Amino acid sequence: MVDINKLENDARTHALKAVDLDSKGKSEDAVFFYVEAAQALISVREELISDQQQQQSKTTSSSSSSIDLNEIVRLIHNYIKRAEEIKASLKSKPTPSLHLKNTSEKGVERARYLLTQALDQDEQKQYEAAFKLYEEAITLCLNEKKTTSNTKLKEQLEKIAYQALERAEELKHTELNTSSHIRLPSPPRDEIIQKEEQQPLDIDQTNINIIDKRAKLSSHELDVLRRGSKINGRDYVPFFSIDLRERFAYQTPFIDSHGPLKLAPKQQTHFLRWARPDEIMSEPKMIMALSYFSIKQDLISDCSFVASLAVSVQYEKKFNKRLITSIIYPQNKQGEPVYNPCGKYMVRLHLNGVWRKVIIDDTLPIDHSNRLLCSSTTNKNEIWVSLLEKAYMKVMGGYDFPGSNSTVDLHALTGWIPELVSIHHADSAFDKDKEFDRMFERFHAGHVLITVATPNITKEEEERSGLVSSHAYALLDMRKIGVHKLIMLKNPWSHLEWKGNFSDFDTRNWTPELIKALNYDPKLQVDVDNGVFWIDYNSLCHHFENFYLNWSPSLFSYTSCIHNSWPSRQGPVKDLYNLGDNPQYVLRVSPKTRSSIWILLTRHITERQDFAVNRIFITLFVYKNGGNKVYYPNDIKPLQDGVKTNSAHYLVKLITDDNDSNGQTLYTLV
For 396-445, the pLDDT digits (tens) are 999 998 878 999 999 999 999 999 999 987 666 789 999 999 999 999 99
Average pLDDT of the segment spanning 616-642: 87
- Name which of 38-52, 103-117, 349-363, 629-643 the model is least confident about: 38-52
Provide the residue type at 640 as one letter: Q
Q: Tens digits of per-residue pLDDT, 505-555? A: 888 899 888 888 887 777 766 566 788 999 999 999 999 999 999 999 999
The amino acid occupying position 588 is R
Contact 433, 537 (CB under 8 A): no
Q: Is the pLDDT higher at 647 or at 395?
A: 395
CA distance 560 to 244: 26
Helix axes 303-319, 384-395, angle to 10 degrees: 130
Percent of the chain residues topping a pLDDT of 90: 53
Judge contact between 152 and 169, C-beta under 8 A. no
pLDDT of residue 71: 83
Give the list of residues 6+ apart from residue 91 with CB closer than 8 angstroms, or none: none
> Predicted confidence band at 89 (pLDDT cuts at 50, 70, 90)?
confident
Task: Give pLDDT, residue 201.
Answer: 43
Bridge partner list, 234: 231
Choose among 591, 657, 579, 577: nearest CA to 621: 579
Give the model's pLDDT for residue 218.
Answer: 87
Looking at residue 64, its pLDDT comes to 52
Q: How far is CA 78 from the centre of its chain?
A: 32
- pLDDT given for residue 65 in this prediction: 54
Confidence check: pLDDT of 199 > 50: no
Burial class (CB in 10 A: 0-12, 13-18, 19+), 300: buried
Q: Evaluate if residue 652 carries a pLDDT over 90.
A: yes
Query: pLDDT digits over 123-167, tens only?
Result: 989 999 999 999 999 999 999 999 999 999 999 999 999 999 999
Position 206 pLDDT exceeds 50: no
Average pLDDT over residues 208-228: 71
Distance (Å, whole) CA 185 – CA 192? 18
Contact status, residue 325 vs residue 384, Cβ threshold 8 Å: yes
Question: What is the bridge-based pairing of β-strands 546-551 and 448-453?
Answer: antiparallel
Looking at 3.90.470.20, 2.60.120.560, 3.40.50.360, 3.90.70.10, the CATH number of the domain 417-551 comes to 3.90.70.10
Cβ contact 538:486 at 8 Å: no
Measure CA of the first residue to CA of the last residue in the chain; give whole Å: 39
The string of pLDDT tens digits covering residues 443-471 is: 999 999 999 999 999 999 999 999 999 99
Please, which pLDDT band fits residue 598 given cuts at 50, 70 and 90? Answer: very high
Q: What is the CATH number that goes with domain 4-91? A: 1.20.58.80
Query: Are 79 and 256 contacting, i.e. CB atoms less than 8 angstroms apart?
Result: no
Complete DSSP assignment for 601-622: EE----STHHHHT----B---E
Q: Over 80: is that where the pLDDT of 368 sits?
A: yes
The residues carrying an active-site annotation are 303, 471, 491
Answer whether CATH 1.20.58.80 is correct for domain 103-173. yes
Q: Are 304 and 472 in contact (CB under 8 A)?
A: yes
Measure the CA–CA gap between 363 and 374, rounded to whole angstroms: 11
Q: Answer yes or no: is pLDDT of 573 > 60.
A: no
Distance CA 185, CA 500 (A): 61
- The beta strand positions in 112-266, using DSSP E, are 202-205, 230-231, 234-235
Q: Same topology for domains 4-91 and 103-173, yes or no? A: yes
More confident residue, 408 or 56: 408
Q: Where are the domains of the chain?
A: 4-91, 103-173, 202-219+566-669, 255-414, 417-551
Do residues 547 and 439 lie in contact, with contact meaning Cβ atoms separated by under 8 Å?
yes
Q: Which of 482, 533, 487 is nearest to 511 (CA)?
A: 482
pLDDT band at 91; cut points 50, 70, 90? confident
Alpha-carbon gap, residue 45 to 11, rounded angstroms: 11
CA-to-CA distance for 276 and 512, rounded, in angstroms?
A: 49
Distance CA 73, CA 79 (A): 10
**0.85 exceeded by pTM:** yes
Render 225-253 in DSSP notation, one character per residue. HHHTTEETTEE-PBP-GGGGG-----SS-
Amino acid 636: pLDDT: 86
